[in-house]
A and B are shown apart, each in its own frame.
Chain A
Amino acid sequence: MANVTLPKGVSAPKSGENTWLWLWKLASGPLIFILILIHFAVNHYLGSNGLLSYREVLSYYSNSIVPVMEGIFLVVVVSHSLLGLRSVILDLHPSRSLLRAIDWIFLLGGTAAVVYGIWLLNVIVASIPKG
């Protein structure tokens, strides 16, 4: 890190946020926008009355592109929401130890949510009647 001299009474910059975290939060926005449009359109307007029955859900997922798309959507939306929530927490000037704890909680919680979602996708795809 470059060595910058600080005037007295000014705190050193903290490393809790950086370009790449911000850029991902930013870039994931439009991705969600596109994916959610598809997600929505399909959920509500495919089939006669949306995906309101178990059978309709299964038939929706029988198109093999759908589970992949939903999987990507899950990763993007979970990371965007947790980074956004983290931003709000950063605005509240958290202590270093609290921020470290939150980082771990979000990392583990986010991973868990994604793993759970992918497991769920697998269960659904496996439930699709063959043929």
Chain B
Amino acid sequence: MNKVDNEPSRSKWIEWFNPQGRNLEGITFSLNRITGLGLTLYLFLHLIVLGTLARGANAYDNFIKLVHNPFFIFGEFLVVAAGLIHGFNGIRIVITSLGIGVPTEKRLLVVLMAIALIGTLIFAVRMFTA
């Protein structure tokens, strides 16, 4: 039995990712946040990893060999999927934030998310069958 906890607080961040009762935009808000955080993490890892280029041909080619396995390819796939979702949702946010196309925002979102999904599938096929 808990005390009343109904006011805004930092600890409610978990609600950002609670899909219950959400509309499509609400779910893309959650996805945008997750993918944004994930892509930021990836960006900085990517930068660090590319440091191997400065250590010459052997270091880089060994590194590529190391990551050329299903585990890393799956990771790469997640990055691509995240990029597509974040990017295509971003298009909607940019357009509507400038006050353009807001009345048709829902249709726009559906179309954009469909494109992101198709793109993700194409990449999945290419990456996992290559």
Q: Are B94 and A29 in contact (CB under 8 A)?
A: yes
CA distance A26 to B93 in the complex (A): 8
Interface size class of A (residues with CB under 8 A): 20 to 34
CA distance A7 to B98 in the complex (A): 31
What count of chain B residues pass the 8 Å CB interface test? 29
Q: Scoring B residues 56 to 93 as 1 if CB is less than 8 Å from chain A, else 0, what string do you get?
A: 11001100100010000000000000010001001101
State whether B53 touches A123 (Cβ < 8 A). yes
Q: In this assembly, does B40 line the interface, its C-beta being within 8 Å of a C-beta of chain A?
A: yes
Q: How near does chain B come to A97, taking the closest CB pair, in angstroms?
A: 15
Main secondary structure, interface of B, reads helix
Q: Are B47 and A116 in contact (CB under 8 A)?
A: yes
State whether B50 touches A30 (Cβ < 8 A): no
Instruction: Establish whether residues A54 and B57, one from each chain, have CB atoms under 8 Å apart when the complex forms.
Output: yes
Q: Does A6 contact B (CB under 8 A)?
A: no
Q: Which 7 A-B pairs have the closest CB atoms?
A: A54-B57, A81-B40, A54-B60, A123-B54, A29-B90, A84-B36, A92-B10
The 5 listed contacts between A and B (C-beta, < 8 Å) are A33-B90, A53-B60, A53-B61, A81-B36, A123-B54
Q: Which A residues fall within an 8 A CB radius of B?
A: 26, 29-30, 32-33, 36, 52-55, 57, 77-78, 81-82, 84-85, 88, 91-93, 113, 116-117, 120, 123-124, 127
Query: Which residues in B have some Cβ–Cβ distance to A below 8 Å?
Result: 8, 10, 13, 16, 33, 36-37, 39-40, 43-44, 47, 50-51, 53-54, 56-57, 60-61, 64, 68, 83, 87, 90-91, 93-94, 97
